[in-house]
A and B are shown apart, each in its own frame.
Chain A
């Protein structure tokens, strides 16, 4: 088949085979490369496609990011403020709002006390509201970051900021950086997977796109209806055996073409089609939660076949078990401005009921399986909510506006110090004032847990070395185990 026998070509071929083995084989070791292949060995393109190894010894291998879209109220869930109880209904002190822009309310807005009861839990004495009864039981496994802050005060830029480190669309999503920096541990599944539930603010692929990184690093959305991955199913009437026959034909013909042209890109094409064939089995297998035990289903609160955050939490465990690097769950509907459209009474309770149990079940499950040490679980939204009430509304339809200046996120596992409460906001829950953690710091810290130096994980684009942390970010040593 080889019209040009030559030692150089043979060695090139050997290299090719070796590279494929590294990519598609066991996926272990320093060169565990991205499953969505094409390391550009054959494609002329910019930069290195995958770095493939950490800068130093990592603590964590996988991450599950439970993104709560809309902006959950830290003041009604995690951060009780006696001052708000005391000054309920009074105008917000002028100095607090002097230098900021607000999304929807005015600067004369009134302070709002939380209607919920709080109590302390765990060795850290973390205060939690009555809306999170399950979370109360695992406080000793969790690190609450209470001095968290961001910059953007509208959903779209804030969501993109949390996920890409920039407010404008066009930068790679966090998971894309992980895919680029570390590759995947699984040959048949993408390195970065996105699952969505709930109804609320629109989500855009700007949050999980690959930006200027090669598209092989983009988040692959696993859909709960229809094809989990677009086009992974063959059409009706075309079974797996028939697909195999067509791929065999394709391979033979492509090989004949290769023999004529010797273009190595043809070999990559053959390998891509083979990997696609394997995905046709591996993707539906991982998505099928019906084979989990009834006890597991009950603990998570899942209903196979009906999309829910609970189902996705269970899927997240199945995905990290199979070596998917970055699993991101989006749950929408946390935008509680007040009124019937979304308020802190009915809607907030609903969201907590949907998410509290499965998120906690996930952490317990990971722990029981010995996976929590190497899996970082992160819970949080694009911002918190204002200490001020929005609108003059009925007591059962109160709400709060967007608030990036100080709020709470929490993390567990993956090298994070368990049982910690880190940082705090001021007496109004307005500004982060102690052990502040900025979005860029969070990104730097997470990269650090994965053995990546946020200053060195760069990609050259349009003349500049870009980082997830832009030109900022500090590793938060205080929350490392």
Chain B
């Protein structure tokens, strides 16, 4: 029962407990009385780890080789043999590892072997140094898949629904464990729906199932779920971790790529239940089948999910070979459950993969046309996806904005007289400053022009900090006006100095004031309270210039070549009696000469913020004239100025502009997907062994082929990817079916039958139920690799349908539920947690497929790690709008160097390499994300609206509605009571705190009915937030 105890108890995790058998060996018990150590488990790993670097297949110091018994028995250079079976003391190996002579002791590097390790080796030698040869080839996973007879059932009270249960029960019996009774129907439907679609059941679905009188109601449920389009999405998400699917290139700058059609292909493949053998062939070699369809070409994107370098100066061949190696490693993990990458530098130390085998597999992938640097091809153009939802949203918003604009314009006319009066009364509120001592850290010159502005000349620095000074006698300065002006000497007429457009990005605008005479205070810096501008580029707002964050700034694209201005108002009035020396700083960190080219500065003492809009002398003259005597030009000028000064109109115009841009962009967009393509050369690219894994040190030339330890490639096949793919799904291949059904098992039961689902080699864990694994694998092949049938088989087993409750005995004997004496229960992935909350609240947009979307993410995350080069891209998370905000998690734009935070917190991988299984941790950062992620808060708010409108007549009814909508069951009396008390507490406290309520519910952009009382809404939003954070809500079980 050795294999059993290896995972049955958590105490095995304790380092001391793990050493217990070894410590026992140290006591005075005669060696013969103890069982000989297991060579494969205890001796071989020790030899490999501590000896083989110098005495292994690659190197034999002192002519000693310790990787076969025959070699170890031969006398080494010293004349003595390392091993003398049966006589530990005569064995040189033992002498050397126990020696106290620093020149003698082995290993020469690192710590000595521990007493326990020495004892194990001594015992092994004393017992005859049993060294089974050819172990690697005899390893269970490399044997042909068999079809064991399902064992008879010896527990008469047990429910047996299919073969799975017979294997499971046979394993429970010797442990005196029994099956748990079937879970109630509410639990079953939630468990099955989450497992097959990744979404929770609706209450209507729960009720229908609970009340379904059909004897096969559960089977019908599983069939319904397998037919749901969301099934494909959920299955795809797991596969995309293996496929290392991402929307970015992966190295450094990590630019965007277009390969979402591949994701869509995976979803569709699962939904149409493509047999797994075809699924394999299409992805590995869809381009090489006769007359490939567009779909098959898209499927080859699987192997274009490799990373690509975007950094200048990188060695393109180095990155290309890295990508090819990644394809080999991924092949190993995803289909073979083998750690092929171990053989990149040397022969695999445990599994039968030689160094040469590795490069023969490498050769299959070494003949494609993609490059290692800046690779955007090859790709295929794909038909335009259905974007009607986004297009419709933009159209509706445009109509809305146009209406609002018309209304605002109408109001403007009504307010004209009032506005004119104010202009006439205030006069010119701004005083232009006489600028001097201009200095540029980047070495630019500055020329004073007649209008008081400064013009940058000479060197055009990449980055620059410009400082400039001016004197003033004003006190009580409230704001600064920065005008940026066009000039024919600037690129594209300016006002900035970036050659391509005349743009600039003002990252920080700083202001200091010191008295002209007398003592200078320690801190002369002045802080701005805010800023507005006549025009703001999307994402580059006026306030960014004064937010003291050097990574955000103000820019004016695409309105180049014209005058713009920014008004920054101070927190405290500035200026000293007796005159002040003012100094200003313009900081430009964005690079590529995004610096201001020509500017003018003015200050004001005006306190009324509404009166700060600069009004030219011409306008003032026009306003001074009686309306009847104004020229048509003057009338026009007044109207235009009044219009420009209206914050409402500016906001609406900006909105309209962006929506129109978006509409144009949607109409013009082309869609492509990265694919694999063989070189057109008559001869494949030469492949050499990379000595020590170094691509610069080629060894022997090799041709494509599979490791000798496995069945051969079919004869008459060309040695290309297609032959490799067919070899993988040949029923004779011992690994593909086992590895695949094991992953299906892992998805619904939490842990695979082989826990190390990425490693079926000799260092992986042995299967908990080897016969069941084989039976499932053979069944998978027998059914023609039918994926849905396999899901159904697992989900309709009595094993799966058990209650998840545990107890002392089960925890004692099988802490991790590997033996399945209870139903599966474990935390959901981050994407599921998001989808769950969106679905429960009713916010979820169930649309299938399409390009990636950008749900709400904490601002500036990309800027914090990035280059700050908007012209390169990936500077700004272009947050989606409307329905795209509420898509399922799997459509979220996946950037490798900055994984979507909430997913990463819940153990999502970065997708830089193939990952077979995510760890499942339970950390306080997860608690913070689940409590405070803005999308989850927005979902809580929208769920609260739903509770208030649909939840029934009173609080008790609403609590019940909320609970069952979220968790798919009716609360117990105690649960309902506790929640009712909580929501009453919240209602009472929010009723006295309308301000907090208003703040709390002001999250997200989803619609909210004005008729809902914010205080009430806030209280129910808190309840929804609690429900979303319940262990039960975060868990499938």
Residues of A within 8 A of B (CB): 4, 6, 8-9, 12, 36-38, 40-46, 48, 51, 55, 101, 103-104, 153-156, 168-170, 196, 199, 201-206, 209, 214-216, 220-221, 223, 225-227, 229-239, 242-243, 245-246, 249-250, 252-254, 256-257, 260-266, 268-270, 272-273, 275-276, 279-280, 305-307, 339-342, 346, 350, 396, 402, 453-456, 460, 462-465, 471, 474
Q: How far is the CA of A273 from the CA of B932 in the complex (A)?
A: 12
- Using A205-B897, A230-B928, A455-B111 as known contacts, say yes or no to A9 and B1031 having CB atoms under 8 A apart: no
* 6 A-B pairs whose Cβ atoms sit less than 8 Å apart in the complex: A45-B919, A206-B912, A215-B905, A257-B1031, A262-B806, A455-B111
Question: Can you name the residue of chain A whose Cβ is closest to the Cβ of B865?
Answer: A203
Q: How far is the CA of A264 from the CA of B808 in the complex (A)?
A: 11
Residues A462 and B758 in contact, CB atoms below 8 Å apart: yes
Residues B350 and A231 in contact, CB atoms below 8 Å apart: no
Residues of B within 8 A of A305 (CB): 548
Residues of B within 8 A of A46 (CB): 755-756, 919
- Using A40-B921, A155-B311, A196-B864 as known contacts, say yes or no to A260 and B805 having CB atoms under 8 A apart: yes
Residues B865 and A225 in contact, CB atoms below 8 Å apart: no
Distance in Å from the Cβ of A53 to the closest Cβ of chain B? 9
Q: Which of B13, B860, B896 contacts A226 (CB 8 A)?
A: B860
Most buried by A among B351, B979, B1032: B1032
- Using A265-B827, A269-B1031 as known contacts, say yes or no to A237 and B996 having CB atoms under 8 A apart: yes
Residues A257 and B1032 in contact, CB atoms below 8 Å apart: yes
Residue B341 lies at the interface, judged by CB distance under 8 Å to chain A: yes
Residue B688 lies at the interface, judged by CB distance under 8 Å to chain A: no
Given A104-B312, A234-B932; 16 other pairs, CB 8 A cutoff: A9-B811, A55-B111, A156-B251, A202-B865, A203-B865, A205-B865, A205-B898, A230-B905, A237-B1002, A238-B1022, A262-B806, A272-B926, A273-B924, A340-B460, A454-B110, A455-B109
Residue B280 lies at the interface, judged by CB distance under 8 Å to chain A: no
Q: How far is the CA of A233 from the CA of B933 in the complex (A)?
A: 10
Distance in Å from the Cβ of A467 to the closest Cβ of chain B? 10
Distance in Å from the Cβ of B510 to the closest Cβ of chain A? 10
Distance in Å from the Cβ of B696 to the closest Cβ of chain A? 8
Q: Is the interface of B mostly helix, strand, loop or mixed?
A: loop
Q: Which of B351, B805, B920, B1022 contacts A262 (CB 8 A)?
A: B805
Residue B999 lies at the interface, judged by CB distance under 8 Å to chain A: yes
Residues of B within 8 A of A37 (CB): 922-924
- Using A199-B550, A340-B461 as known contacts, say yes or no to A215 and B758 having CB atoms under 8 A apart: no
Q: How far is the CA of A346 from the CA of B465 in the complex (A)?
A: 12
Residue B447 lies at the interface, judged by CB distance under 8 Å to chain A: no
Q: How far is the CA of A170 from the CA of B1031 in the complex (A)?
A: 31
Q: How far is the CA of A454 from the CA of B787 in the complex (A)?
A: 45
Q: Which of A201, A227, A243, A402 contacts B867 (CB 8 A)?
A: A201
Q: How far is the CA of A456 from the CA of B117 in the complex (A)?
A: 13
Number of A-B contacts (CB under 8 A): 305
Residues B859 and A226 in contact, CB atoms below 8 Å apart: yes
Residues of A within 8 A of B811 (CB): 8-9, 12, 262, 264
Top 4 A-B pairs, shortest CB-CB distance: A237-B1000, A237-B999, A455-B110, A103-B313
Residues A202 and B867 in contact, CB atoms below 8 Å apart: yes
Residues A261 and B804 in contact, CB atoms below 8 Å apart: yes
A-contacting 9-mer, from B286-294, B759-767, B792-800: B759-767
Residues A156 and B15 in contact, CB atoms below 8 Å apart: no
- Per-residue interface assignment for chain B, residues 1012 to 1036, with 1 indicating a CB less than 8 Å from any chain A CB and 0 otherwise: 0000001000100110011110110
Residues B807 and A4 in contact, CB atoms below 8 Å apart: yes
Question: Can you name the residue of chain B whose Cβ is closest to the Cβ of A350?
Answer: B441
Residues of B within 8 A of A51 (CB): 15
Distance in Å from the Cβ of A268 to the closest Cβ of chain B? 5
Q: How far is the CA of A236 from the CA of B252 in the complex (A)?
A: 35
Residues A104 and B313 in contact, CB atoms below 8 Å apart: yes
Q: How far is the CA of A37 from the CA of B867 in the complex (A)?
A: 34
Residues A229 and B928 in contact, CB atoms below 8 Å apart: yes
Distance in Å from the Cβ of B329 to the closest Cβ of chain A? 9
Residues of B within 8 A of A (CB): 10, 13, 15, 49, 53, 109-111, 250-254, 309, 311-315, 322, 333, 339, 341-342, 350-351, 441-443, 459-463, 548-551, 589, 591, 750-751, 755-756, 758-759, 761-764, 804-809, 811-812, 816-818, 825-827, 858-860, 864-868, 896-899, 901, 904-905, 907, 910, 912-913, 919-929, 931-934, 937, 972, 974-975, 978-979, 982, 985-986, 989, 995-1003, 1018, 1022, 1025-1026, 1029-1032, 1034-1035, 1037
Residues A246 and B1022 in contact, CB atoms below 8 Å apart: yes
Residues B443 and A396 in contact, CB atoms below 8 Å apart: yes
Residues of A within 8 A of B109 (CB): 455, 474
Q: How far is the CA of A234 from the CA of B1037 in the complex (A)?
A: 29
Residues B763 and A463 in contact, CB atoms below 8 Å apart: yes
Q: How far is the CA of A263 from the CA of B817 in the complex (A)?
A: 11
Distance in Å from the Cβ of B334 to the closest Cβ of chain A? 12
Residues A43 and B920 in contact, CB atoms below 8 Å apart: yes
Q: How far is the CA of A236 from the CA of B1018 in the complex (A)?
A: 12
Residues A230 and B548 in contact, CB atoms below 8 Å apart: no
Q: Which of B250, B589, B816, B1030 contacts A44 (CB 8 A)?
A: B816
Residues A235 and B924 in contact, CB atoms below 8 Å apart: no
Residues B927 and A272 in contact, CB atoms below 8 Å apart: yes
Residues B924 and A462 in contact, CB atoms below 8 Å apart: no
Residues of B within 8 A of A36 (CB): 923-925
Q: How far is the CA of A218 from the CA of B451 in the complex (A)?
A: 56
Q: Which of A225, A268, A346, A454 contacts B860 (CB 8 A)?
A: A225
Residues of A within 8 A of B110 (CB): 453-456
Distance in Å from the Cβ of B1009 to the closest Cβ of chain A? 19
Distance in Å from the Cβ of A115 to the closest Cβ of chain B? 16
Residues B924 and A275 in contact, CB atoms below 8 Å apart: yes
Distance in Å from the Cβ of B489 to the closest Cβ of chain A? 18
Question: Can you name the residue of chain B whose Cβ is closest to the Cβ of A47?
Answer: B13
Residues B923 and A216 in contact, CB atoms below 8 Å apart: yes
Residues A464 and B924 in contact, CB atoms below 8 Å apart: no
Q: Which of A229, A269, A340 contacts B922 (CB 8 A)?
A: A269
Q: How far is the CA of A155 from the CA of B816 in the complex (A)?
A: 43
Distance in Å from the Cβ of B874 to the closest Cβ of chain A? 9
Question: Can you name the residue of chain B whose Cβ is closest to the Cβ of A223?
Answer: B864
Most buried by A among B110, B313, B762, B925: B925
Q: Which of A253, A342, A463 contacts B350 (CB 8 A)?
A: A463
Q: How far is the CA of A102 from the CA of B251 in the complex (A)?
A: 19
Q: Which of A43, A202, A268 contacts B897 (CB 8 A)?
A: A202
Distance in Å from the Cβ of A85 to the closest Cβ of chain B? 26
Q: How far is the CA of A351 from the CA of B197 in the complex (A)?
A: 53
- Using A8-B808, A201-B252, A202-B254 as known contacts, say yes or no to A250 and B1000 having CB atoms under 8 A apart: no
Residues of A within 8 A of B339 (CB): 462-464
Residues A306 and B548 in contact, CB atoms below 8 Å apart: yes
Question: Can you name the residue of chain B whose Cβ is closest to the Cβ of A213?
Answer: B919
Residues A263 and B825 in contact, CB atoms below 8 Å apart: yes
Residues of B within 8 A of A474 (CB): 109
Most buried by B among A230, A268, A456: A230
Q: How far is the CA of A372 from the CA of B615 in the complex (A)?
A: 61
- Using A44-B751, A46-B919, A341-B463 as known contacts, say yes or no to A253 and B808 having CB atoms under 8 A apart: no
Residues of B within 8 A of A199 (CB): 463, 550-551, 589, 591, 868
Residues A249 and B975 in contact, CB atoms below 8 Å apart: no
Residues of B within 8 A of A268 (CB): 922
Residues B925 and A229 in contact, CB atoms below 8 Å apart: yes
Distance in Å from the Cβ of A428 to the closest Cβ of chain B? 21
Residues of A within 8 A of B931 (CB): 231, 234, 243, 246, 273, 276
- Using A306-B548, A307-B549, A463-B350 as known contacts, say yes or no to A246 and B1025 having CB atoms under 8 A apart: yes
Q: Which of A204, A215, A257 contacts B919 (CB 8 A)?
A: A215
Residues B350 and A44 in contact, CB atoms below 8 Å apart: no
- Using A225-B860, A236-B1000, A249-B978 as known contacts, say yes or no to A262 and B928 having CB atoms under 8 A apart: no
Residues A236 and B1002 in contact, CB atoms below 8 Å apart: yes
Distance in Å from the Cβ of B880 to the closest Cβ of chain A? 20
Residues B1000 and A235 in contact, CB atoms below 8 Å apart: yes
- Using A4-B807, A8-B812 as known contacts, say yes or no to A154 and B333 having CB atoms under 8 A apart: no
